[in-house]
């Protein structure tokens, strides 16, 4: 969706070359390698099964017609300036959605400045007209696109009145922390943890168990925005069928078929160091029971699923 949004947002400069920085190899391969074959087969994969998210891919195919573009893969959450900026905006939009308010629009937030190479630093309260754009470079991060335009030098741009920043201006809502990172457990109510000061913050083991149960729910599994938060960028699964799943393929498969809620029996929750928890449990299905293990790791202050494996129980 990020690539599609980018193509639509730059439709007025169709003659320009697009250099798209993307942290999803699945997206890049889908567009540059697999899509021509899918089209020849009537939008079906090599095994004859229909392509996932086919309507979205068809829209991408239409928007790509006549465009000049190149893709470059960048590792997500590895310190790349544009990728980190895209992730920042994606998290801010998700927070706004959770809070029920409108997310910030536009290529960036006022006051947030990136590298000044070629005079391309974003200045608070300044705008660059479309006719001034000489180059557009974009980084996508599972639902967000960040653009860098190298046009008129920042010092020569006409100044405009700075806009209030919805996420940082305390004057808008009175509390500058209102739009901080969402807390999964804040929705449970303070009475759940206020019996003991030491219990104000649930343990890492309790958080991981709750997150695992959340991930097993069909409403969450079918929400790619939420699974993108729960799954680590380097997530991998070895399924009970023996298939190896990468993060992007898993997210798209879950969105296509989230399944039904699964009953589980927790077998163990073991802390591994300060930043990892190993959760083992038994899941129940009509076909039988499966023994499962999930490795959750701390990533940017939040617990995310790094590895999962399922083995049918004898």
Q: What's the pLDDT tens digit per position in 7-43?
A: 998 988 888 999 999 988 888 888 988 888 888 889 9
Is the pLDDT confidence value at 292 over 70?
yes
Tokens read off for 265: 């029996």
Contact 280, 292 (CB under 8 A): yes
pLDDT at 201: 67
Indicate the domain borders of the chain: 2-156, 187-312
What is the strand order of the sheet 288-299 is part of?
A: 244-246, 231-238, 302-312, 288-299, 276-285, 263-272
HEC readout, 4-38: HHHHHHCHHHCCCEEEEEECCHHHHHHHHHHHHHH
Average pLDDT over residues 210-238: 90
Share of the chain above pLDDT 90, in %: 28
For 51, the 3-state DSSP assignment is coil
Is the pLDDT confidence value at 302 over 80?
yes
Q: How many CB atoms within 10 Å of residue 267?
A: 12
Mean of pLDDT over the chain: 74
Domain 2-156 matching CATH 3.30.420.10: the answer reads: yes
Question: Does the pTM of the predicted model rise above 0.85?
Answer: no
Share of the chain above pLDDT 70, in %: 69
Measured distance CA(202)–CA(275) in Å, rounded: 15
Confidence of residue 90 (pLDDT cuts 50, 70, 90): confident
Measured distance CA(304)–CA(301) in Å, rounded: 9
3-state DSSP helix/strand/coil percent for the chain, to nearest 5?
A: 35, 25, 40
Q: Pick from 179, 134, 152, 100: which is nearest to 13 by CA?
A: 134
For 207, the 3-state DSSP assignment is helix
> In this structure, which CATH number among 3.10.450.50, 3.90.1010.10, 3.40.50.2300, 3.10.129.10 belongs to the domain 187-312?
3.10.450.50
For 138, the 3-state DSSP assignment is strand
Lowest mean pLDDT among 52-61, 130-139, 201-210, 223-232: 130-139
For 174, the 3-state DSSP assignment is coil
269: β partners: 279
């Amino acid at each position: 969706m990020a690539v599609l949004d980018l193509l639509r947002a730059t439709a007025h400069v169709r003659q320009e070359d697009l250099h798209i920085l993307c942290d999803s190899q699945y997206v890049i391969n889908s567009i540059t390698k697999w899509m021509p074959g899918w089209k020849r087969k009537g939008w079906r994969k090599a095994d004859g099964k229909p392509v996932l998210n086919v309507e979205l891919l068809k829209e991408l195919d239409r928007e790509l017609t006549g465009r000049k573009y190149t893709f470059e893969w960048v590792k997500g959450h590895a310190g790349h300036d544009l990728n980190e900026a895209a992730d920042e905006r994606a998290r801010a939009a998700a927070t706004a959605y959770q809070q029920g308010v409108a997310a910030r629009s536009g290529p960036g937030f006022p006051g947030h400045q990136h590298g000044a190479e070629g005079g391309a630093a974003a200045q608070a309260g300044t705008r660059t007209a479309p006719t001034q754009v000489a180059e557009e470079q974009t980084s996508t991060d599972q639902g967000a696109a960040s653009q860098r335009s190298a046009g008129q030098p920042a010092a020569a741009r006409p100044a405009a009145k700075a806009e209030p920043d919805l996420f940082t201006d305390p004057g808008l809502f009175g509390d500058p922390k209102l739009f901080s990172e969402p807390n999964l457990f804040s929705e449970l109510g303070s009475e759940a943890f206020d019996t003991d000061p030491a219990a104000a913050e649930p343990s890492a083991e309790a958080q991981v168990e709750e997150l695992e149960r959340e991930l097993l729910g069909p409403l969450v599994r079918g929400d790619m925005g939420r699974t993108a938060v729960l799954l680590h960028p380097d997530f991998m699964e070895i399924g009970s069928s023996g298939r190896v799943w990468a993060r992007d393929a898993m997210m798209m498969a879950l969105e296509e078929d989230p399944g039904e809620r699964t009953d589980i029996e927790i077998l163990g929750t073991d802390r591994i160091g300060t930043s990892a928890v190993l959760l083992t449990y038994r899941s129940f299905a009509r076909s039988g029971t499966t023994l499962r293990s999930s490795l959750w790791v701390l990533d940017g202050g939040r617990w995310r699923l790094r590895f999962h494996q399922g083995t049918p129980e004898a």
